[in-house]
Amino acid sequence: MKTALITGITGQDGSYMAEFLLNKGYQVYGLSRRTSTVTTERISHIIDKIKIVEGDLVDQHSLTHIIKDVKPQEVYNLAAQSFVPSSFSQPVLTGEITALGVIRMLEAVRIGYPKAKFYQASSSEMFGKAQEVPQSEKTPFYPRSPYGVAKLYGHWITVNYRESYNLFAVSGICFNHESPRRGTEFVTRKISQAVARIKLGKQKKLVLGNIDAKRDWGYALDYMEAMWLMLQQKKAQDFVIGTGETHSVKEFAKLAFEVVGINNWEDYIEVNRTHFRPAEVDLLIADNTKAKKILKWQPKTSFRKLIDIMVKSDLEREAKV
Ligand code: NAP
Ligand code: G4F
Tell me the C-alpha distance between 178 and 188, whole Å.
7
**What is the CATH classification number for the domain harbouring 313?**
3.90.25.10
Residues 9 and 60 occupy one common structural domain: yes
The Cα 75–Cα 72 span in angstroms is 7
pLDDT, position 163? 98
Q: In terms of domains, do 203 and 225 share one?
A: no
Residues 167 and 279 both lie in one domain = no
Atom of ligand 1 nearest to the CA of 82: 34
Q: How many domains does the chain have?
A: 2
Q: Looking at the structure, do residues 162 and 53 belong to the same domain, yes or no?
A: yes
Closest residue to atom 3 of ligand 1, CA basis? 82
**Is 288 inside a domain boundary?**
no
Q: Assess whether 234 and 255 both reside in one domain.
A: no
Whether the predicted model's global pTM rises above the 0.95 cut: yes
Averaged over successive runs of 10 residues, the pLDDT of the chain (321 residues) comes to 98 98 98 96 98 98 98 99 98 98 98 98 98 98 98 99 98 99 98 98 98 98 98 98 98 98 97 98 98 98 98 98 87
Does residue 111 lie within any of the structural domains? yes
- Residue 128 region by backbone torsions, left for phi larger than 0, else alpha for psi between -120 and 50, else beta: left
Whether 265 is in the pocket of ligand 2, judged by its Cβ within 6 Å, is no
Provide the pLDDT for residue 90. 98
In this structure, the answer to whether residues 276 and 262 fall within a common structural domain is yes
Q: What positions carry a catalytic annotation?
A: 123, 125, 147
Task: Write out the residue range of the structural domain in which residue 206 sits.
Answer: 184-215+245-283+300-320
If asked whether residues 233 and 251 sit together in one domain, one would say no
Looking at the structure, tell me whether residues 22 and 10 fall in a common domain.
Answer: yes
